[in-house]
Amino acid sequence: MNTSTTLLPALSAPLAPPIDPYWQAVPAASLNRFEILPPSETPMRKLNPVELATIRVSAPTPATITFTEYGEPIEAAMRIAVWHDRGIHLSGWQLAQGLAVFFYPHTAGRTSWKGWELLRAVDATSELHGVVVTLDALALDGSGYRRGVRLRDRTSEVM
């Protein structure tokens, strides 16, 4: 699949009116200052390829999200909720690349690490918007079984 011809047009499709409530709430909301870490410091680099490949998102209907803060993680969560509502279900790799292309177009061709960081930020701020990012990680008991775990919990385990 050629990402530039099939995935990106779907992700760059207009989001209005579902995202309009976000922009209407911005003047009254406070800025969320979640720190996007550089590649050398991000815990996302410590996740293995299977964990990254099993990332999945659950999101509420965009109309039900109430905004009390704004910023890149909150806007990314709103965009993910709209994509999810439209039936666009993406792998973790596609989602990270799509977020990197949209929010950081000058770096997206080289790497999607900022997209991975933004996914981490979305899950870390999930109490503000309801978008939850989960993945499958090896069980801590050494049994070799996989367990479903929140991305924010897994990144704190590998730190």
Render pLDDT for 94-147 as a digit per residue (tens, 0 to 9).
888 888 888 887 765 556 788 899 999 999 999 989 999 999 988 877 787 888
* 24, pLDDT greater than 70: no
Residue 10 falls inside a structural domain: no
Residue 16 falls inside a structural domain: no
- β-partners of residue 146 are 138
> Which residues constitute the domain of residue 55?
37-158
Q: What 3 state SS string does the chain have?
A: CCHHHHHHHHHCCCCCCCCHHHHHHHHHCEECCCCCCCCCCCHHHHCCHHHHHCCEEECCCHHHCCCCEECHHHHHHHHHHHHHHCCCCCCHHHHHHHHHHHHCCCCCCCCCHHHHHHHHHHHHCHHHCCCEEEEEEECCCCCCCEEEEEHHHHHHHHC
pLDDT reported for residue 29: 57
The predicted model gives 88-98 an average pLDDT of 87
Residue 27 falls inside a structural domain: no
Q: Name the pLDDT band for 6 (thresholds 50, 70, 90).
A: very low
Residue 136 falls inside a structural domain: yes
Supply the pTM of this predicted model. 0.78
Residue 13 falls inside a structural domain: no
Dump pLDDT digits (tens) for 33-69. 677 788 788 888 899 888 998 999 999 988 888 777 7
Number of domains the chain contains: 1
